[in-house]
């Protein structure tokens, strides 16, 4: 029976970040993921590395400062996965904020970044329309301009995993679901099953860590681990619109009349729009948008960009995810009582549960767990190891020039980037936006040849 020092359950950004940290510190670690790595919440963000400018309103200055520091770190370490761009926050005569309030907020945002952000600016009405011609001019006062990062969220998770797997002490299995956890004198005996082949395996581990996000409240009781519900779940959806649908020189942040924030972010030769915040009332795994949520975003766009004539025909594809907010008061079921900070729970002396937080701060969150576990295993923890660059890049970059895709390159991607299914390849390794089922081929390569390569791969 295989023996591990740590088993991590949940292969999103936190799980991939944690296995990297542990592996760099020489810890024998296994990562288990029920689907593809980064196929749930961690591929369904608004594709931003950001401090969270809206959290200034709630005085969460420490959170914003930490996120800005991490944003600027990853902009430096992974320029092939993320880049800085301007964001415009338009002000109307009905807006929640007066111009002076926005100016103060943008200065504070730059200050909390230690002025490593490009400096903000306040634009008048004419300057705003020059930069975002599609904006509704009626009642427009101007805009604030500031800078944040745009990222391929799925690939940042994946490249953290690839970096971990360069260490001989790290292993990772996708499409493997944990089915039982039996407490032992010095840890756990775990059984997990392959969702592709139906086989089961039992291993031992000294420590068990759950980075399962929105699935935590459902999973832990099934495994018999002491747990009570901690989460408030919020569903967010996004649209990919055709390039040129909205004329803008940068990203736009819309503060809606119902006090929500909607981002409009040009990238990947298209425009991403999101997000909504609605209660979750459907199966969470591989969750999809519903018509009412799509209609809400289309109505918001029609309000702010009335001349753009955005319809469902403008949509290339859609995606959705579930944000796991941590309850501040467990007796109250309100999202306003949910923490924007992460929390680490200890159901027992051998188990850690990481919940909440922001995508941007994943390295700092997982470091809190690693710096506890590593010394308990009799090893020296070196916190600066995760400040190094990621050593294995994706073969197909998301941004910038791309190599010519041929069957040989596809086979390399399948073999070296932990690909098990066609959807893994198309959505997260090639970063295509179209629905897999609508593709007749993958960028000129017949699908039957791609499927044959998948069938012959050891990853399946």
pLDDT value, residue 330: 54
Residues 139, 238 within the same domain: yes
Residue 92 in any domain: the answer is yes
pLDDT value, residue 54: 86
327: nearest Cα among 228, 430, 187, 238: 228
Residue that is last in its domain, among 326, 353, 372: 326
Residue 373 in any domain: the answer is yes
How many helices and strands (H and E) does the chain possess?
11, 21
Residues 142, 167 within the same domain: no
Residues 179, 320 within the same domain: no
Residues 294, 346 within the same domain: no
Residues 34, 175 within the same domain: yes
Strands 3-9, 200-210: pairing kind? parallel
Residues 359, 442 within the same domain: no
Residues 270, 126 within the same domain: yes
Residues 243, 134 within the same domain: yes
Total domains in the fold of the chain = 3
Residue 289 in any domain: the answer is yes
Q: Rounded to whole angstroms, how far apart are CA atoms 340 and 63?
A: 8
**Residue 375: half-sphere exposure toward Cβ, Cα within 13 Å:** 8
**Residue 279: half-sphere exposure toward Cβ, Cα within 13 Å:** 5
pLDDT value, residue 329: 62
pLDDT value, residue 444: 85
Residue 59 in any domain: the answer is no
Residues 138, 237 within the same domain: yes
* Residue with tokens 């679901």, as numbered in its chain: 177
pLDDT value, residue 332: 47
Q: Rounded to whole angstroms, how far apart are CA atoms 13 and 154?
A: 8
Q: Rounded to whole angstroms, how far apart are CA atoms 291 and 327?
A: 28
Residues 349, 433 within the same domain: no
45: nearest Cα among 371, 349, 410, 359: 359
Query: Residue 363: helix, strand or coil by DSSP?
Result: helix
- With vertex at residue 260, the alpha carbon angle to CA 254 and CA 261, rounded to the nearest 5 degrees, is 40
Residues 416, 379 within the same domain: no
Q: Rounded to whole angstroms, how far apart are CA atoms 258 and 270?
A: 27
Q: How far is CA 302 from CA 67, 90, 144, 295, in A?
A: 32, 15, 21, 10
User: What does each of the 460 residues of the chain score in pLDDT, given as a tens digit?
Assistant: 899 999 999 999 999 999 999 999 999 999 999 999 999 999 999 999 999 898 898 889 999 999 999 999 999 999 999 999 999 999 999 888 899 999 999 999 999 999 999 999 999 999 999 999 999 999 999 999 999 999 999 999 999 999 999 999 999 999 999 999 999 999 999 999 999 999 999 999 999 999 999 999 999 999 999 999 999 999 999 999 999 999 999 999 998 888 889 999 999 899 999 988 888 888 899 899 999 999 999 999 999 999 999 999 999 999 999 999 898 765 444 544 455 789 999 999 999 999 999 999 999 999 999 999 999 999 999 999 999 999 999 999 998 888 999 999 999 999 999 999 999 999 999 988 877 666 778 888 888 999 999 988 866 5
Residue 368's CB is within 10 A of a number of other CB atoms, namely 13
Residue 399 in any domain: the answer is no
284: nearest Cα among 358, 218, 211: 218
Q: Rounded to whole angstroms, how far apart are CA atoms 230 and 55?
A: 22
**Residue 439's domain spans which residues?**
407-455
Q: Rounded to whole angstroms, how far apart are CA atoms 47 and 50?
A: 9
Tallying the residues shown for the chain, one arrives at 460
Residue 306 in any domain: the answer is yes
CATH of the domain at 295: 3.30.9.10
Residues 355, 240 within the same domain: no
CATH of the domain at 35: 3.50.50.60
Kindly report the pTM of this predicted structure: 0.94
pLDDT value, residue 339: 56
Q: Rounded to whole angstroms, how far apart are CA atoms 233 and 41?
A: 11
């Amino acid at each position: 029976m295989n023996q591990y020092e740590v088993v991590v359950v949940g292969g999103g950004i936190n799980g991939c970040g944690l296995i990297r940290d542990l592996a760099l510190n020489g810890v024998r670690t296994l990562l288990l993921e029920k689907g593809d790595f980064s196929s749930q919440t961690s591929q369904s963000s608004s594709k931003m590395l950001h401090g969270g400018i809206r959290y200034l309103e709630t005085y969460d200055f420490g959170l914003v400062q930490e996120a800005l520091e991490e944003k600027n770190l990853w902009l430096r370490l992974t320029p092939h996965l993320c880049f800085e761009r301007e964001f415009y926050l338009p002000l109307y005569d009905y807006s929640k904020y007066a111009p002076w309030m926005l100016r103060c907020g943008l200065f504070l945002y730059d200050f909390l970044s230690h002025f490593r952000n490009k400096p903000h600016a306040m634009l008048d009405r004419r300057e705003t329309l020059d930069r975002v011609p599609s904006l509704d001019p009626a009642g427009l006062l101007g805009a604030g301009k500031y800078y944040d990062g745009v990222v391929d969220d799925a690939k940042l998770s994946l490249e953290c995993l690839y970096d971990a797997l360069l260490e001989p002490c790290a292993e990772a299995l996708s499409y493997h679901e944990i089915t039982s956890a039996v407490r032992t004198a010095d840890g756990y005996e775990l059984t997990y099953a392959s969702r592709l082949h139906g086989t089961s395996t039992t291993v031992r581990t000294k420590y068990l860590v759950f980075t399962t996000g929105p699935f935590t409240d459902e999973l832990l009781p099934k495994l018999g681990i002491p747990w009570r519900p901690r989460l408030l779940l919020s569903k967010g959806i996004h649209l990919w619109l055709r390039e040129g649908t909205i004329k803008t020189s940068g990203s736009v942040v819309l503060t809606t009349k119902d006090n929500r924030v909607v981002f409009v972010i040009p990238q990947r030769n298209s425009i991403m729009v999101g997000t909504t915040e609605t209660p979750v009332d459907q199966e969470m795994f591989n969750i999809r948008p519903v018509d009412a949520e799509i209609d809400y975003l289309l109505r918001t766009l029609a309000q702010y960009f009335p001349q753009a004539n955005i319809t469902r025909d403008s949509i290339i594809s859609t995606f959705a995810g579930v944000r796991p907010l941590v309850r501040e008061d467990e007796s109250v079921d309100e999202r306003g009582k949910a923490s924007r900070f992460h929390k680490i729970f200890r159901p027992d002396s051998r188990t850690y549960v990481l919940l909440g937080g922001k995508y941007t701060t994943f390295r700092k969150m997982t470091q809190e767990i690693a710096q506890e576990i590593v010394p308990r295993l009799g090893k020296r923890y070196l916190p600066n190891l995760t400040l190094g660059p990621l050593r294995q890049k994706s073969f197909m970059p998301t941004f910038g020039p791309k190599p010519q895709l041929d069957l040989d390159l596809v086979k390399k991607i399948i073999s070296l980037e932990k690909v098990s299914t066609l959807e893994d390849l198309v959505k997260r390794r090639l970063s295509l936006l179209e629905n897999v089922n609508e593709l007749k081929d993958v960028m000129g390569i017949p699908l039957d040849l791609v499927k044959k390569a998948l069938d012959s791969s050891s990853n399946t």
